[in-house]
Amino acid sequence: MTYSLTPAIQDYLEVIHDLSKHDSKVRITDIARKLNVAKSSVTEAIELLHAKNLVQKERYGPITLTRNGEREAAKLKYKHLLISKFLRDVLNVTADTAEKDACLIEHVVSVETMLALIQLLESKNYLDNDIDIEEVKILLSTNSLSNLAPGTKGTIKRVEATGELRRRLMEMGVTSGDDIQVKRVAPMGDPIEITVKGYNLTLRKNEAAAILIEIN
């Protein structure tokens, strides 16, 4: 994992995610209003998210989440949902407190704890049917290849790329279930080099973003 996002920064992700559902054009002003902070703080946070390849922005243009940004925001959303459900339904905490605590816990909870929590909720039939829990498990337990630091080893969980890129990746041996290792990042920061099926392959970060890896 290369992320070390502070809770505050994670909040920005969530807000952009929520705002973009109502209006595809999210602007600094909207975020500042929603979080009740100064515009300068927002700009700073966006720069940070941009550096981590989580948002896309054009000068004076709207802000959109990248594929990775969407994934991270979705992870937070599901963590929040499941934790508050656990607090309310299993521990019988009041709705208000559950909501507040979930807001805090979601930022620091580990994948292992989350998966155990899901198992508990599943076994007690607390889960609503409208959540595809298998998808949520994959979402929480994987990272996109473009986020992994050199040296990280893992297993390919899913190739989300489509069209020509998908076929090309799969035919070159990037198929689910295979072991993969991140070797290097090019001197300019992109593309990256990985080992798969015993040989070295390069691909750009935006191409790697469509490959989900479970870290070993």
Partner 1 sequence: MSVTKETKEISTDQVNAQTIALIGNPNAGKTTIFNALTGSRQHVGNWPGVTVEKKEGRLLADSKVHVIDLPGTYSLGAYSEDELIARNYILFENPDVVLDIIDSANIRRNLYLTVQLLEMNTNIVLALNMLDEAEAKGIEIDENTLAKILNVPVIKTIGTKNQGIEKLISSSIQALGQSREPLTVDYGQEIEDEILVLQKAITEHGELAQRYYPRWLAVKILEGEDVILNDIQKYPNIQTIFTLREKAVQHLNQVFAEDIQTIIIEKRYGLIEGVVKQTVKQKKDVQASVSLSDKIDNVVLNKTLGIPIFLLTMWAIFKFTFVIGDPLIGYVEMLFEWFGGIVGAMISNELLASLIVDGIIGGLGSIFVFIPPIFTLFFAISLLEDSGYMSRVAYIVDKFMRSLGLHGKSFIPLLIGFGCNVPAIMATRTLENKKDRMVTILVNPFMSCAARLPVYVLFAGALFPDNAGTVIFSLYILGIVMAIIMAKIFKKFLFPGEAAPFVMELPPYRVPTLKGMLIHMWEKGSSFVRKAGTIIFAVVVLIWVLATLPWGVEYASQDSFIGMFGSAISPVFAPLGFGSWEASAALIFGLLAKEVIVGTLGVIYGVGEEGLAVTITQMWTPLAAYSFMVLTLLYVPCVATIGAIKRETNSWKWTGFTIGYTLALGWIVAFIVYQGGTLLGLG
Q: Which of these segments, 22-30, 58-66, 87-95, 193-201, binds partner 1 (CB under 8 A)?
A: 193-201
139 binds partner 1 (CB under 8 A): no
Element (H, E) at 185: strand 179-185
DSSP symbol at 145: G
List 185, 209, 215, 216, residue binding partner 1 (CB under 8 A): 185
Q: Tell whether residue 184 is a contact of partner 1 (CB under 8 A).
A: yes
> Which 33-92 positions form the footprint of partner 1 (CB under 8 A)?
none
Q: Which of 6, 34, 9, 8 is nearest to 20 (CA)?
A: 34
Q: Between residues 131 and 165, which has the closer beta carbon with respect to partner 1?
A: 165
Longest dimension (CA), the chain: 54
Angstrom CA distances, 162 to 79, 180, 199, stand at 28, 20, 23
204 touches partner 1 (CB under 8 A)? yes
Sole binder of partner 1 in the list 203, 209, 212, 213 (CB under 8 A):
203
Phi/psi zone of residue 197: left (φ > 0), alpha (ψ -120 to 50 degrees), beta?
left
Site residues (CB under 8 A) for partner 1, limited to 140-159? 159
CA distance 111 to 161: 24
Q: Report if residue 2 touches partner 1, rule: CB under 8 A.
A: no
Q: Interface with partner 1 by CB under 8 A: which residues?
A: 159, 164-173, 175-176, 184-191, 193, 197-204, 207
